[in-house]
Amino acid sequence: MKINIFKNKKILVAGGTGMVGQQLVPKLLKLKANVTIASLDDSKLNKYNNVDFYQKDLININNCLEITKDKDIVFNLLGVTGSPKINNTNPGSFMMSNLYCAVNLLYASQKNNVRRYMYTSTYGVYGESSIMKEDSVWKTFPSEHDKYAGWAKRMGELQVEAYRKEFNFESLHVIRPANIYGPHINLNPKNSMVIGSLIRRIIEGENPLKVWGDGSNIRDFIYSEDVAEAMIQVIEKNINIPINIGSGKGTSIKNLVETIVSSKYIKNKPSILFDNSQPSGDKIRILDTSLANKHGISCNKNLKEGIDLTLGWYLSEKDSIKGKYNYFA
């Protein structure tokens, strides 16, 4: 019989109102955990009747110490998302927000004797490589297109490694997700990633739809619920080394755009204009998911299913969220 290690545990989900958090929290509640959410975004408070909520800036160490007190498990889902453009235009704030969100929360968790801790890294920690394997990270530098967030997330991972050696946690975990998308995706025009940006602009009627690059760049995409399920399984299976969470398959930006445009939810289909004069990042970025597959962790939603679910959510919620964009994944 499978043991429910989450039952009656006091669990903090930092960033719990974001894209992955909105999928993770219901799963933890179903497992009968006592859940607390910490986030700057208080717009979704009415969704849960049995969850404590703290509206806190977790860049502040004192706030981190306050919310981790008496917790058994902490999920760190914090991280400012950003495109290659943000990597170039706002590198300082981009890097430091990601760094402080990592360092302060783990420090506070250790001080408050948290037993299990999960850090959400990113596949931006990898250097330029067509296939990204877990043990290759420290053999290269992060890609120039992910330089600042990539280094910040690497430092978060290194802190986990150091704390594992020095302090008596029951378990420490690091996951490296691919490009995450799904309901509650970041739609902010200033820092949204490719799927969020495309969906917002298509729904708002941009025609022709301008896409940076020639469409040949290849990326690995994973649906947010698959990431949330992977997080739970990584803790259940006590996987204490960094692990890739993705589809393990490449999708070209051209195919991505066509998948969104061809969705049943897009009634006014725009023409597509690729602009090769604009930056588009590395040519190929695909996660090696053999370690995840070995542990029975997989991507269940294909791209078409996930895009339809994301579009369905956006169209049902767009009037209430108009002008309100998430900064945290």
The Cα 280–Cα 277 span in angstroms is: 9
pLDDT exceeds cutoff 80 at 84: no
Tell me how far apart the alpha carbons of residues 329 and 14 are, in angstroms, rounded to a whole number: 10
Q: Domain extents for the chain? A: 10-186+222-248+286-303
Q: How confident is the model at residue 328 (pLDDT cuts 50, 70, 90)?
A: very low
Which of 177, 179, 236 has its CA nearest to residue 28?
236
DSSP-derived 3-state class of residue 15: coil
d(CA 315, CA 266): 10
Lookup: tokens for 34:
């006592």
Report pTM: 0.93
- DSSP string for residues in 42-86: -TTGGG-SS-EEEE--TTSHHHHHHHTTT-SEEEE---B---HHH
Considering only 77-86, 158-167, 303-312, which range has the smallest mean pLDDT? Answer: 77-86
Residue that wins the pLDDT comparison between 15 and 327: 15
Look at strands 10-14 and 34-39 and give their pairing.
parallel
Q: 288-301 burial, b for 16+ CB within 10 Å, e for fewer? A: bbebbeeeebebeb
DSSP β-ladder status, 116-120 and 171-177:
parallel
Ranges 39-53, 176-190, 212-226, most confident: 212-226
Mean pLDDT of the chain: 90
Give per-residue pLDDT as tens, 262-303: 999 999 999 999 998 887 788 999 999 999 999 999 999 999
What share of the chain in percent tops pLDDT 90? 74
By the 8 A CB rule, do 327 and 191 touch?
A: yes
Q: Cβ(74)–Cβ(117) under 8 Å?
A: yes
What local confidence, expressed as pLDDT, does residue 281 receive? 80
Mean per-residue pLDDT, 34-56:
82
Angle, CA of 185, 183 and 143, to the nearest 5°: 35
What do you get for the CA distance between the two ends of the chain, in Å? Answer: 34
pLDDT of residue 329 exceeding 50, the answer is no
d(Cα 27, Cα 25) in Å, to the nearest integer?
5
Which option is the CATH number for 10-186+222-248+286-303: 3.40.50.300, 3.40.50.720, 3.40.50.170, 3.30.450.20?
3.40.50.720
Q: With a cut of 60, say whether residue 226 has pLDDT above it.
A: yes
User: Which tens digit of pLDDT belongs to each residue from 136-161?
Assistant: 999 999 988 888 888 999 999 999 99
pLDDT digit string, tens, across residues 94-150: 688 889 889 999 999 999 999 999 999 999 999 988 899 999 999 999 988 888 888
Number of residues written out for the chain = 329
Which of helix, strand or coil describes residue 116? strand
In this prediction, residue 297 carries a pLDDT of 97
The amino acid present at 37, given as its one-letter code, is: I
Residue 3: what residue type? I
What is the Cα–Cα distance from 315 to 265, expressed in whole angstroms?
A: 8
- Dist. CA 327–CA 179, nearest whole Å: 15
